[in-house]
Structure 1
Amino acid sequence: KRGGMMGNIYSMGLALQVQGGRRGRSGPAPRHRSRRFPPPPQALGSTAMFYAPREWDCAQAFSVVYGHDYRQPMAIAQVLPALVGKSYLEAASLECAASSEVSPSLQSLKPCPVEVQKARIRVRYSIINTLRGKHFNESISVGVPAGSTLLQVLQAAEKKEPDIFSFRTEQTSWGPMVVSIHGLAADPEDRTYWQFLSGKDALQEGGRHGAGGAGRQGVKDPPSHPRPSIAGVGTYVPVDGERIRAVFSTY
């Protein structure tokens, strides 16, 4: 569905690994060829009860993965085995070392330090809670250097108005996760979390928009995780004039 997307961009790695289970391939298929995998093994659950035995054409799914700019180590680790056609253990033995040879004409050149003034952008940032306790809807416009991450935008907003835009993060394997804003903390018991959106779209890694609430970067985790997390503020890169909303939500 949705042009080859299975779940969201962060669940694609695991989904492709499941589809490629016991396929017996010795290496990755060329990018221009269609990938067809046999049905997953029966041990993976009751899949066979719902789907007739057939080959799965994963060309669209691989196109989605090829076209995404993965930056988070966990996302890369999950998608790599499917891309190279190996298991986790086999993928660990790949030779990825690049040649250390340097062109003789470049060896004598010394880099000249040049101070480049980065252009600045403005981002509109809002925090919204209509779910619990005293409701609030606060907005601020902050200026940051172009290329700044969403985390840096949050830090700039907190520096400008700490009484309103204070926030707290926790480090996860997916990167920093926002767990509290304006003193209002996410609570797994209540199934609440802070969801980040640009317009109506959930944010995704590397500065891309998701599909209306199904991405990671401030939205729900893949089904294998116990609760959604806001992992992606450390990699999402807003553009000039973008409007980012942090909405206290349930899952």
Structure 2
Amino acid sequence: MTRALLSAALLLLLLPGAPAQVSSQTSFTIVVSNSVTNAGNKTFSTFVSFRGILLGGMRRLQDKDSGFTFKYTEDDNYGPFLESVNGLAGCPNHRTYWELKVKKPDNKVILPDVGIGCYIPSAGDVVILNFNKY
């Protein structure tokens, strides 16, 4: 019997593995705000697959809702860099940029130490894309 178990274990180790498919989704909200002009906020709902990144939820939202658009560039060292949201772009001459903040379910607002390409939203997060000055 031990030999049979060892053979089965060895066979499992040799079989090509496939990533586990997780069907759960993580729903969260995106709020587009503007601290420069104090224009009204726009709120959107989206989701990512389990452990999916913010960028995926933003793409999904852009594909389904014409009221939300964004553009980013890919930096070789730091990954995706958010350039514009809903047609409003950051500008070095005006010292403006898009700031990423997250309001957690306990109402604490954090500034993630990663960007849209690495941040993994949690259920109930309110992701705030805030147009701001530096």
TM range (shorter): 0.7 to 0.9
Which residue of 56, 59, 79 maps to 1:152? Answer: 56
Which residue of 129, 132, 138 maps to 2:34? Answer: 129
Give the partner amino acid of 1:120: Q
Instruction: Indicate whether 1:243 and 2:123 are aligned.
Output: no
Q: Which runs of 5+ in 2 are unaligned?
A: 1-9, 104-108
Larger Rg: 1
TM-score, normalisation: structure 1: 0.44
Partner of 2:7: none
State the Cα distance separating 1:237 from its structure 2 match: 0.7
Aligned length, in residue pairs: 119
Aligned mates of 2:112, 2:31 — CA distance in 1: 14
* Larger relative strand fraction: 2
Which residue of 234, 238, 247 maps to 2:117? Answer: 234
Q: Which runs of 5+ in 1 are unaligned?
A: 1-104, 206-231
Describe the shift of the 1:113–1:169 C-alpha distance in structure 2 as closer, same or farther (beyond 3 A): closer
Aligned mates of 1:242, 1:108 — CA distance in 2: 38
Partner of 1:175: 79
Describe the shift of the 1:193–1:112 C-alpha distance in structure 2 as closer, same or farther (beyond 3 A): closer
* Larger relative helix fraction: 1
Which residue of 54, 66, 69 maps to 1:166? Answer: 69
Describe the shift of the 1:113–1:235 C-alpha distance in structure 2 as closer, same or farther (beyond 3 A): closer
Over the aligned positions, Cα root-mean-square deviation in angstroms equals: 2.2
Query: Percent same amino acid at aligned positions?
Result: 25
3-state DSSP class of the match of 2:57?
Answer: helix
TM-score, normalisation: structure 2: 0.78
For the Cα contact (< 8 Å) 2:48–2:54, is it kept in 1? no
3-state DSSP class of the match of 1:147?
Answer: coil
Q: Cα deviation per residue 1:93-134 (whole Å; 9 max; x = unaligned)? A: xxxxxxxxxxxx4697213657623311101111011424x8
* Greater RCO (CA < 8 Å, at least 6 residues apart): 2
Regions of 4+ moved over 6 Å: none
